[in-house]
């Protein structure tokens, strides 16, 4: 195979990988690196594919951060601290994440309330102390601070 064929093959694999969800530049790089061992294309080919994808638009870490935070807030809300760690694990730079979160501050109390609301019914039969413990542990596992947990549970208690 010549270089152009290898480039096209690598590009097709990248498009396939992007088909399922948005990806960070680092995720694409790792994926193509793994495929390169099997199909024997070079680092230059991998970098050329990433450059092409960045120029075309499907790979943009700034847009990825926005998309990821919106998806998390809609379907599986977590605290800003947990979001930041997840994004860094996915390969987004700390600076980019910090910039986005400072420009778009998260409503931690609102997210905690949204997270706890579907589960609250399970805790209503428990004593006040047990309810606070179980609900609190649930929210703490999602990365919310103890202060946010207290406020959220107090809101839920007042709602009943």
Residue 132: CATH number of its domain: 1.10.10
Do residues 79 and 98 both lie within one domain?
Answer: yes
Per-residue pLDDT band at 158 (split at 50, 70, 90): confident
Which residue among 87, 103, 119 closes a domain?
103
CB-based contact 71:33 (threshold 8 Å):
no
The residue among 157 and 49 whose pLDDT is bigger is 49
Do residues 23 and 68 both lie within one domain?
Answer: no
Alpha-carbon gap, residue 133 to 131, rounded angstroms: 5
Alpha-carbon gap, residue 130 to 77, rounded angstroms: 23
CB-based contact 29:41 (threshold 8 Å):
no
Per-residue pLDDT band at 1 (split at 50, 70, 90): low
> Tens of pLDDT along 25-41?
999 999 999 999 999 99
pLDDT at 159: 62
Closest CA to 80 of 146, 149, 142: 142
Do residues 41 and 71 both lie within one domain?
Answer: no
**Running DSSP on this structure, what letter comes out for residue 40?**
T
Q: Write down the pTM of the prediction.
A: 0.85
Place of tokens 């096209």: 8
Alpha-carbon gap, residue 93 to 101, rounded angstroms: 13
> Tens of pLDDT along 60-119?
999 999 999 999 999 999 999 999 999 999 999 999 999 999 999 989 999 999 999 999
Alpha-carbon gap, residue 102 to 124, rounded angstroms: 36
Residues spanned by the domain of 89 = 61-103
Do residues 71 and 94 both lie within one domain?
Answer: yes
Do residues 10 and 27 both lie within one domain?
Answer: yes
Number of domains comprising the chain:
3
Which residue among 40, 56, 72 closes a domain?
56
Helix ranges (H only) for the chain are: 3-18, 25-39, 43-56, 61-75, 80-89, 94-103, 108-123, 128-141, 146-159
CB-based contact 18:58 (threshold 8 Å):
yes
Do residues 83 and 99 both lie within one domain?
Answer: yes
Per-residue pLDDT band at 160 (split at 50, 70, 90): very low
pLDDT at 131: 93
How many Å separate Cα 14 from the centre of its chain? 20
């Amino acid at each position: 195979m010549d270089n152009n064929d290898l480039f096209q093959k690598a590009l097709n694999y990248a498009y396939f990988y992007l088909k399922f969800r948005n990806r960070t530049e680092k995720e694409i790089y790792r994926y193509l690196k793994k495929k390169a061992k099997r199909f024997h294309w070079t680092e230059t080919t991998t970098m050329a594919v990433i450059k092409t994808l960045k120029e075309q638009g499907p790979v943009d870490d700034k847009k990825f951060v926005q998309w990821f935070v919106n998806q998390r807030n809609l379907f599986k809300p977590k605290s800003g601290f947990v979001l930041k760690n997840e994004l860094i694990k996915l390969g987004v730079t700390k600076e980019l994440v910090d910039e986005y979160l400072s420009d778009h501050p998260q409503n931690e109390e609102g997210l905690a309330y949204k997270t706890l609301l579907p589960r609250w019914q399970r805790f209503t039969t428990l004593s006040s102390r047990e309810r606070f413990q179980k609900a609190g542990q649930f929210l703490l596992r999602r990365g919310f601070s103890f202060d946010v947990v207290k406020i959220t549970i107090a809101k839920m208690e007042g709602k009943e």
